[in-house]
Amino acid sequence: MLAFIDASVILAALGSKSGGSSQILKLIRESKLDGITSQAVVEEVFRNVYKIKIAESKVSRLISISSIKVIPAPTSEEVEKYLDVTAAKDVHVVASAIKSKANVVITLDKKHLLSKRIKGLSVLTPGEFLKNL
């Protein structure tokens, strides 16, 4: 299974070593789950890490040791295809998840992510994903 990891999960994992987000990244690190994200998500993490008072160097380290594959940010043409299914600020997540052929998006912003269902793409919180294992 390929899971697209949203910025909220990475930020939460940085803030808590014992929560569901950290458990998701541990599964990826242990090769029990294939994890992917986009450069746009990584940039979002860097823009918001100050809110949890974590050094930027810890972001780079976490992404590196967690073995999350980072793909290029989606093009504006790829993003435009999904403007009708989510809020403009989240459309890059949907576009990247579909481009990567992820089966699931793992996010803590689930209620904001999809206003319409997309065939073949589930959106789950870390807790929901872990319960379904």
| CATH code: domain of residue 37 | 3.40.50.1010
Are 83 and 91 within 8 A, CB to CB? yes
- Provide the pLDDT for residue 111: 72
The total number of structural domains in the chain stands at 1
pTM summary value: 0.93
- Provide the pLDDT for residue 109: 87
* Structural domain of 75: 2-131
How confident is residue 113, by pLDDT bands cut at 50, 70 and 90?
A: confident
How confident is residue 86, by pLDDT bands cut at 50, 70 and 90?
A: confident
Give the Å distances, CA to CA, from 69 to 9, 28, 51, 106, 115: 15, 10, 25, 14, 27
